[in-house]
């Protein structure tokens, strides 16, 4: 029957190239927003013979990605994944047994209950984060990355990373020096982040990124082997912490090399998907590894930006914390009594979706939806950015307003989120990410105030939110100031985090 059904509406296709020249390569979500206006919530586009569908509403996303997940859970197979040595990481795997095994391992250490086992770790690292921000505010990205990186490394490998001497950190530091000389990062990011570029001919700007592929492949190898070897040593014996690697080794005993390879890939997938692991790595390696991105880091950076722009939100949050916690440092037992803090976390993820177009899905068979034909092998982009600005879901959607997640009684509403994607590919780190976000947010708010920085004349330096581009985006650096608002808590944090 599919032969009779038309393709979904979309922009006019040129012969051969299709819509290759219609797309704003640096910010494709702007092009897609435009198409949504003209053609609706389900748009068809084509680039060099590859079918694309862009989903721009929660309803269509749920109908297809959730309800028909048996068809919509594949990933595109891109030759760049292979060239860069990342075709077997979780986020790039096709749907099938291997992916299911990966996701099972994630589930064991990152599900809601297991994530709760990291409460102490989250808080300890969050307190370190506060201390670091206060002592070197200009190093904000490093501090956020250290925070997000160390909690994920602990969950995957069971050891605590330190900024000195960690193998992930070491190998990526070294890489930076070489890599930054051979490639233009902006282009490479764009190239790798937006799969449609894959289909463009080699004369198209940006293709130079390929030169760098073999080195990247070698680097991924090292990133897989080195932390694993540490984990193997530190996870034997009694009292070893639960981690993805430890659980796997415990269950499988002496493992053969294919098995070892398997767990290495899963563990590194978590580290690179969950954080940017470490800064140097982030800058350059992530630009070629499509999945390497600072999702938690980006969310926390957006949080700081939102606080700077909304002193009223900060004041209300502090008042809530003081009422519930007195002079104590907030901990997870306080969480149910701090709905406004959680509303802030939700609003951060809604206001500036970390992945404006999610990660691309692909169909594994032909389908028909609302009378439209969706061919097998179609690449599905979910315009999370469009969902975040959808007035049908959020009134005054461009405004940062945590209140929208609360009921009239001040309780959290059951609003669903799109930030973690959909269906069988939904982010397996979402519980873990939510909790790590919460710990950092509550620790920062309870102890410090984020304000605009002053210029030499004592005037506020204005801040206009600006974001990078790519698969996952983050705020461009902005001037800010951070001051202590509760020195009792600040002192306790120094003690607790061992940074006295």
Report the nearest approach of ligand HEM to the CB of residue 143 (Å): 17
Angle at Cα 380 formed by Cα 195 and Cα 475, nearest 5°?
A: 60
Q: How many residues bind ligand HEM (CB under 6 A)?
A: 30
227 binds ligand HEM (CB under 6 A): no
State how far Cα 164 lies from the chain centre.
25
The interface region with ligand HEM, picked from 206-214, 295-303, 406-414, 478-486 by CB under 6 A, is 295-303
Give the residue with the Cβ less far from ligand HEM, 51 or 187.
51
* Cα 197 to Cα 227: distance, rounded to the nearest angstrom: 33
Q: Is 439 in the site for ligand HEM (CB under 6 A)?
A: no
User: Can you point out the beta strands (E) in 330-392?
Assistant: 361-362, 367-369, 372-374, 379-382
* Minimum distance, C-beta of residue 423 to ligand HEM, in the bound complex (Å): 6
Token readout for 78 is 């891109």
Structure tokens at 163: 């900024």
Considering the rule CB under 6 A, would residue 352 count as an interface residue with ligand HEM?
no
Tell which phi-psi region holds residue 406, choosing left (phi > 0), alpha (psi between -120 and 50) or beta.
beta
Which residues have C-beta within 8 Å of that of residue 439, sequence separation ≥ 6? 119, 122, 123, 125, 126, 332
Among 29, 32, 351, 420, binds ligand HEM (CB under 6 A): 420
Do residues 273 and 282 make contact, with C-beta atoms less than 8 angstroms apart? no
User: Does 296 sit near ligand HEM (CB under 6 A)?
Assistant: yes
292 binds ligand HEM (CB under 6 A): no
Q: Does 448 bind ligand HEM (CB under 6 A)?
A: no
For ligand HEM, the closer of residues 27 and 350 by Cβ is 350
CB of 393 to ligand HEM, least distance (A): 17
Binding site for heme, residues? 427
When binding is defined by CB under 6 A, the residue of 10, 356, 428, 470 that contacts ligand HEM is 428
Residue 20 or 354: the one with the smaller Cβ distance to ligand HEM is 354
Site string for ligand HEM, 101-130 (x = CB under 6 A): --x------x--------------------
Helices (H), 51-139: 58-61, 69-72, 79-83, 97-110, 112-116, 119-135
- Binding ligand HEM (rule: CB under 6 A), the pick from 169, 193, 278, 299 is 299
Residue of 339, 358, 402, 470 that binds ligand HEM (CB under 6 A): 358
Check residue 425 and report its DSSP letter. G
Among 48, 426, 463, 479, binds ligand HEM (CB under 6 A): 426
Question: Could you say whether residue 359 binds ligand HEM (CB under 6 A)?
Answer: yes
Q: Does 274 contact ligand HEM by CB under 6 A?
A: yes
Q: Should residue 421 be labelled a site residue for ligand HEM when binding is judged by CB under 6 A? A: yes
Which residues are annotated as part of the binding site?
427
Check residue 387 for interaction with ligand HEM (CB under 6 A). Answer: no
Any residues with CB less than 8 A from the CB of 436 and at least 6 apart, and which? 118, 122, 147, 148, 151, 296
Distance CA 45, CA 472 (A): 22
3-class SS of residue 328: coil
DSSP 454: B
Distances (CA, A) of 443 to 87, 131, 321, 353, 437: 38, 10, 10, 22, 10
Instruction: Assess 432 for contact with ligand HEM (CB under 6 A).
Output: yes
Site residues, ligand HEM (CB under 6 A): 90-91, 103, 110, 152, 269-270, 273-274, 295-296, 299, 349, 354-355, 358-359, 361, 419-422, 425-429, 432-433, 437
């Amino acid at each position: 029957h599919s032969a009779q059904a038309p393709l979904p509406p979309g922009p006019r296709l040129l012969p051969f190239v299709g819509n290759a020249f219609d797309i704003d390569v640096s910010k494709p979500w702007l092009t897609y927003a435009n198409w949504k206006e003209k053609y609706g919530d389900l748009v068809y586009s084509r680039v060099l013979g590859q079918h694309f569908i862009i989903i721009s509403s929660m309803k269509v996303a749920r109908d297809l990605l959730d309800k028909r997940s048996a068809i919509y859970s594949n990933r595109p197979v891109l030759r760049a994944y292979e060239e860069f040595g990342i075709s077997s990481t979780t986020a790039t795997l096709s749907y099938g047994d291997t992916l299911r095994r990966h996701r099972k391992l994630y589930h064991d250490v990152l599900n809601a209950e297991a994530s709760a086992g990291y409460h102490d770790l989250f808080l300890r690292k969050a307190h370190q984060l506060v201390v670091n921000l206060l002592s070197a505010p200009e190093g904000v990205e490093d501090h956020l990355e250290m925070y997000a990186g160390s909690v994920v490394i602990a969950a995957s490998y069971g050891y605590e990373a330190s900024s000195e001497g960690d193998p992930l950190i070491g190998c990526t530091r070294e890489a930076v020096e070489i890599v930054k000389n051979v490639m233009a990062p902006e282009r490479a990011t764009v190239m790798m982040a937006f799969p449609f570029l894959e289909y463009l001919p080699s004369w198209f700007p940006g293709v130079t990124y390929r030169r760098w592929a073999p080195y990247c492949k070698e680097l991924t190898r090292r990133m897989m082997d080195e932390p694993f070897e540490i984990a193997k040593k530190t996870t034997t014996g009694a009292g070893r912490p639960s981690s993805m690697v430890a659980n796997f080794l415990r269950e499988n005993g002496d493992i053969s090399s294919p098995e070892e390879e398997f767990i290495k890939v899963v563990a590194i997938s978590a580290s690179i998907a969950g954080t940017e692991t470490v800064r140097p790595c982030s800058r350059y390696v992530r630009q070629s590894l499509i999945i390497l991105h600072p999702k938690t880091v980006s969310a926390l950076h957006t949080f700081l930006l939102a606080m700077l722009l909304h002193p009223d939100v900060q004041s209300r949050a502090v008042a809530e914390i003081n009422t519930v916690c007195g002079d104590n440092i907030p901990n997870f037992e306080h969480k149910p009594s701090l709905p406004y803090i959680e509303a802030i976390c939700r609003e951060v993820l809604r206001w500036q979706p970390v992945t404006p177009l999610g990660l691309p899905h692909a169909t594994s068979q032909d389908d028909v939806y609302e009378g439209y034909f969706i061919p097998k092998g179609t690449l599905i982009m979910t315009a999370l950015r469009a969902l975040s600005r959808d007035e049908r879901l959020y009134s005054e959607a461009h405004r940062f307003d945590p209140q929208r997640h609360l009921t009239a009684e001040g309780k959290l509403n059951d609003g669903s989120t799109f930030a973690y994607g959909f269906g069988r590919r939904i982010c397996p780190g979402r519980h873990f990410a939510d909790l790590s976000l919460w710990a950092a947010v509550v620790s920062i708010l309870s102890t410090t105030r984020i304000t605009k920085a002053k210029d030499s004349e004592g005037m506020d330096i204005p801040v206009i939110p600006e974001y990078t581009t790519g698969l996952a985006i983050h705020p461009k650096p902005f001037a800010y100031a951070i001051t202590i608002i509760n020195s009792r808590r600040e002192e306790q944090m120094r003690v607790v985090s061992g940074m006295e």
